Structure 1
């Protein structure tokens, strides 16, 4: 298991090919269409973060990487503009680190300008832990995620309390992504 705060996450050259990015895009859309579903991403890199960013970010994107998880060469390839975590469209953070910022929540005229938080988890799997409910989930589903500070869930609830304003979350494991749009309710098993 890599220590997310000490190791930068590096891409594989194939992450920058159109075919790889098209496949990743379809998988990411699938993850957001089926919240809570664990979706595998194809990459030869050790982690999916670079292919996710290569797929979603471009030179017009404001990207915050306060813990410098993204390798400098990958950052240059992305061409995304650096921004503070409170202004960025995408914020990359280790899930184990509690947030010390308030992300962009969008406006009533432009709720789509709310940030997408990309949280690096230690492991993502089926099983007990979190109970997810909301649009795209029949009744509810359980998700086991390790390496996410519980403060993220408390603040996410606060940030998303004035819907349609809020943030979307993408949880990244080494080879998978789980999407939690702002419409999804997240509760710890046992009701906490």
Structure 2
């Protein structure tokens, strides 16, 4: 059974310094898609949210950024933790959220169900933070696009079979479309909407 005290602990030891450090690492990952980043800060978000996902949440979310959570996250101690550490509101509908967090093993909703921004305001789109079992033990995917010198290779494990098709559709919406951050434990990598992803032959 969850206790009220769980929402009070597990945040950054030094909120300002730690958030700045994670922000720099995340911006570097977004600038260089496919590059693995690691959260070294001490943090313990309520399960089933992972450490990297929790660090990103604490870094990017505040009272102006609504968050959508998968059912398992919604039933956990996470909503109270979010309320205490960030005061960020929870969104009932996917298309109302600035950020969405998906726990490992949860069904990933269609990317098109989230806020995609507009031609005039593409920054009003959502960022999805998706937890996976591993970022290095799955099928190899090739990345090309801005921020990548020639090509980059990633191997996330646990993405749904429909992800590549959905990502191709999402990329075609540019400048609209969602951005994605994949996490696993302390590791993360970023997939901006400009990144082209193709399946590599086994």
Q: Does TM, normalized by the shorter one, top 0.5?
A: yes
Instruction: Measure how far apart 1:127 and its partner are.
Output: 8.3
Match of residue 60, structure 1, among 60, 64, 72: 64
Deviations 1:15-54 (A, max 9, x none): 5611111111111111111110001112323522211101
Instruction: Measure how far apart 1:167 and its partner are.
Output: 0.8
CA separation in 2, counterparts of 1:11 and 1:42?
Answer: 18
Alignment size in residue pairs: 183
CA separation in 1, counterparts of 2:37 and 2:67?
Answer: 23
> Is the CA contact 1:127–1:142 (under 8 Å) kept in the aligned structure 2?
no
Please, what TM-score do these two structures have when normalized by structure 2?
Answer: 0.81
Q: Who is 1:81 aligned against?
A: 89
C-alpha spacing 1:183/1:54, structure 2 compared with 1 (3 Å):
same
Mean alpha-carbon deviation: is it higher for 164-173 or for 40-49? 40-49
Q: Who is 1:177 aligned against?
A: 188
> Is the CA contact 1:89–1:113 (under 8 Å) kept in the aligned structure 2?
yes
Q: Report 1:34-183 matches (<5 A).
A: 34-45=32-43, 47-69=51-73, 71-76=78-83, 77-83=85-91, 84-94=93-103, 96=105, 97-100=107-110, 102-125=113-136, 129-183=140-194
Please, what TM-score do these two structures have when normalized by structure 1?
Answer: 0.85
Taking only aligned residues, the RMSD between alpha carbons, in angstroms, comes to 2.4
C-alpha spacing 1:131/1:114, structure 2 compared with 1 (3 Å):
same
> Is the CA contact 1:92–1:117 (under 8 Å) kept in the aligned structure 2?
yes
C-alpha spacing 1:15/1:149, structure 2 compared with 1 (3 Å):
farther
Give the structure with the higher percent helix: 2
Q: Who is 1:13 aligned against?
A: 11
CA separation in 2, counterparts of 1:137 and 1:32?
Answer: 10
Runs (5+) with no aligned partner, structure 2 = 1-7, 45-50
C-alpha spacing 1:15/1:72, structure 2 compared with 1 (3 Å):
farther
Runs (5+) with no aligned partner, structure 1 = 1-9
